[in-house]
Structure 1
Amino acid sequence: MLSGMRPTGSLHLGHYHGVLKNWIKLQQEYECYFFVADWHALTTHYDEREVLGKHVWDLVIDWLACGVNPNLARIFIQSRVPEHAELHLLLSMITPLGWLERVPTYKDQQEKLKEKDLATYGFLGYPLLQSADILIYKADAVPVGEDQVAHVEITREIARRFNHMYGREPDFEERADAAVRKMGKKNAKLYFNLRKRYQEQGDHEALNVAQALLEDQQNITLADRERLFGYLEGSGRSILPEPHALLTPAARMPGLDGQKMSKSYHNTISLREPLDLVEKKIRTMPTDPARVRRSDPGEPTKCPVWEFHKIYSEDDTQEWVLKGCRTAGIGCIECKGPVIEAVQEELRPIQQRIREFEESPEVVRSIVAEGTEAARTVARETMIEVRSSMGLEYR
């Protein structure tokens, strides 16, 4: 599983609830690669050198402080694994221009960021760089929100096109036949029988059984297994497996004004926000406009503060808010009190761990160095396969 973030500024509670909590859960279930997408940051912030450097290390520290565990996940910086750039270049040779131009976020982002000149090759090609990020680790799953599913879909299309063009080796059938023999006489006979039933009769049950048979084989290499999957289906070897989108729960974290929490809306609470400023920001949040005076009853569901209560407050506190607001039994300042305490309580240990990591920069750099080397080991292996399949292996 692979995911990343661009180092373009401070993380806030929206990132924590919408992304990082999910990462912390997924690292228990998948072999995870989490990377700082500094090259991706340059696609829109190419003229702002300050977005890199310190922001990169702050981002890693925030991840660690929130609970991303380097013993369970590989943490690395994109630009320190140059194989990403090589695969991006090679994929650009076979990717139709129209595929990139039709990515929904391409024109959408140009519209939203009118103040920037985004008529650049890098911005047009960023979905392809994203595809390279995913495919180089042969990731099975990519956690995304619904608005990012299109990026995974284009990655699947690119992998399919690559495999179609380069997965059929000149001696493919001879290699596949030799791989089957390695499975032993009994399994080889079963494989050929299942393959015949699927290809001649369209028996999908036979296909499923044959795929399960291949998964259980210990005597064949990963390349042979992928070759036999393709041979089974009448295609070539799957050099770059197609990933699937792992839809993440919709982010529930509202901003201070009731909109989605976003730096663009200036309505965030940063993970590094001083706790006294957290209190000030929440105390000055807008409330139900119907409550002009303390004695006026209100409707909590029309108030941005209620959205915070839904995240941070227990059922009894929520009942207290609903009843107290609708009867004017409590005022807006009283209503905000439990939210202030809960947010501060959540941020306090995170900020303590941030300070600890900032005091030990060598530990953070060591974590990234180890994660980068582990990532490069996998990336190098993929590129050996890619170069060989494209005829770029000269001996």
Structure 2
Amino acid sequence: MYAERVLSGMRPTGALHLGHYHGVLKNWVELQQEYPCLFFVADWHALTTQYDNPQNIEKATWDMVIDWLAAGVDPNQATLFIQSRVPEHAELHLLLSMMTPLGWLERVPTYKDQQEKLSNKDLSTYGFLGYPLLQAADILIYRADKVPVGEDQVPHIEFSREIARRFNHLYGREPGFEDKAREAVKKLGSKRARLYEELRTRYQQEGQREALEQAHAVLDEIQHLSVADRERLFGYLEGTGKMILAEPGALLTAASRMPGLDGQKMSKSYANTITMRESEDSVAKKVKSMPTDTNRVRRTDPGDPARCPVWQLHQVYTDEATRATLEQGCRTAGIGCIDCKQPVIEGILKEQAPMRERAQLYLDDPVLVKNIIADGCEKARELARETMRDVRESMGLEYH
């Protein structure tokens, strides 16, 4: 129904680590080559769990944006912005909250999980209960059809789809909708109008998904339709009203297998991270002090790479030939653990070198980062205002 558009956001947690790079940012860098992308700092989301200690949010935001740019996210290809600088997110969240059943929020899988995980915090707040709805508003306000997520986040996208469906069902019935939709069909030209009606019948009477997809393709080809007519035709096709909010789709991303310094997943909560722009000395020191195969007490003891956390980093940072040589050396005690760690250190430093170089530009002149975000916020607001005009009108809040 709308142009292809990718939306993704991250809470501001300060300097990002290599797990963030391999898990999220590498994917963003690829997506920006293929689609129009919007990437935002979810600072209001940070407040759902940090409401009692918001002092670090601003610094964490600027550090994080520099890491995005260091990773290769390009402000000429993607729109970078801060959630709270686009107040339309809050307006849509408020309006959606009027029609969202409480039970829908309570059954979001992460609601109970997070409360248990963060049991030291009082999360019995309205903001924490409503954060999936704020997340839905973040997506729906840009009519984004692609949201990159891991498997565990798919329920959030499904929740956003349900919210869009409910909204369209409640508010998509404009007066004289069917007459206006039939008038819009005539504008397709007689040949396309016949095909549209035939596909509409096949979908509504026989539930044929391919008929729906074909009809979408027919409408996507037509340039001269107004936005309102296009929305009416999509709604008429599916037997609903005018589609005001588009249902987003999940763009599944492969789970990052980035191991931390102790062999667990790299995460700040495990204190096992290497940051994206960590100094060379610090990287070398951290890798050199990593635990290895506990059975390898002396230099002359043979080892088993499968029991060694360093070996997991080799899967990310060295090639097959290097790994074969090192495995042989480890199993025969031909090399020591420091020899095994050196190629990992070199691999990490090689990956970080272009990041440090890109980041330096912004560290030397922080105004550049502020300007990128100011431009991004303005672009995002234009899109958000467009959606909010339609939302207000459909809810009778335009007051012409």
Q: TM-score, normalised by structure 1?
A: 0.96
CA 1:269–1:216: 2 relative to 1, 3 Å: same
- Contact 1:137-1:378 at 8 Å conserved across structures: yes
Aligned Cα root-mean-square deviation (Å)? 1.5
- Contact 1:183-1:219 at 8 Å conserved across structures: no
Bigger mean CA deviation after superposition, 119-128 or 176-185: 176-185
- Contact 2:178-2:236 at 8 Å conserved across structures: yes
Question: What is the match of residue 117 of structure 2?
Answer: 112
CA-CA distance at 1:187 after TM superposition: 2.7
Q: TM-score, normalised by structure 2?
A: 0.95
- Contact 2:14-2:61 at 8 Å conserved across structures: no
Question: What is the match of residue 44 of structure 1?
Answer: 49
Q: Deviations over 1:198-218 (max 9, x none)?
A: 445556554444332222122
| Residue 371 of structure 1 pairs with residue 373 of structure 2 | no
**Any unmatched runs of 5+ in structure 2?**
1-5
- Contact 1:45-1:51 at 8 Å conserved across structures: no
CA-CA distance at 1:116 after TM superposition: 1.4
Match of 2:291 among 286, 289, 296: 286
| Residue 27 of structure 1 pairs with residue 36 of structure 2 | no
Code of the residue aligned with 1:293 in structure 2: it is R
Match of 1:132 among 123, 134, 137: 137
**Any unmatched runs of 5+ in structure 1?**
none
Q: Deviations over 1:157-187 (max 9, x none)?
A: 1111111111122211121122112222333
Matched residues, percent identical? 67
Question: What is the match of residue 73 of structure 1?
Answer: 78
CA 1:206–1:280: 2 relative to 1, 3 Å: closer
CA-CA distance at 1:229 after TM superposition: 1.7
Code of the residue aligned with 1:26 in structure 2: it is L
- Contact 1:298-1:325 at 8 Å conserved across structures: yes
Code of the residue aligned with 1:62 in structure 2: it is D
Following the alignment from structure 1 to structure 2, what is the Cα–Cα distance between the partners of residues 258 and 39? 33
Following the alignment from structure 1 to structure 2, what is the Cα–Cα distance between the partners of residues 127 and 161? 15
1:383-394 mapped onto 2 (5 Å cutoff): 383-394=388-399
CA-CA distance at 1:298 after TM superposition: 1.1
Question: What is the match of residue 238 of structure 1?
Answer: 243
- Contact 2:203-2:209 at 8 Å conserved across structures: yes
Match of 1:153 among 149, 154, 158: 158
Code of the residue aligned with 1:270 in structure 2: it is T
Code of the residue aligned with 2:243 in structure 1: it is S
Match of 1:254 among 249, 252, 259: 259
CA 1:392–1:332: 2 relative to 1, 3 Å: same
Bigger mean CA deviation after superposition, 116-125 or 342-351: 342-351
Following the alignment from structure 1 to structure 2, what is the Cα–Cα distance between the partners of residues 203 and 376? 38
Question: What is the match of residue 336 of structure 1?
Answer: 341
1:262-281 mapped onto 2 (5 Å cutoff): 262-281=267-286
Question: What is the match of residue 17 of structure 1?
Answer: 22
Q: Deviations over 1:263-288 (max 9, x none)?
A: 00000001232210111110010111
Q: Deviations over 1:107-139 (max 9, x none)?
A: 111111122111111111111100000000001
| Residue 100 of structure 1 pairs with residue 109 of structure 2 | no
Code of the residue aligned with 2:84 in structure 1: it is S
Code of the residue aligned with 1:246 in structure 2: it is L
CA 1:205–1:251: 2 relative to 1, 3 Å: closer
CA-CA distance at 1:7 after TM superposition: 0.9
Structure 1 counterpart SS, 2:148: strand
Structure 2 counterpart SS, 1:130: helix
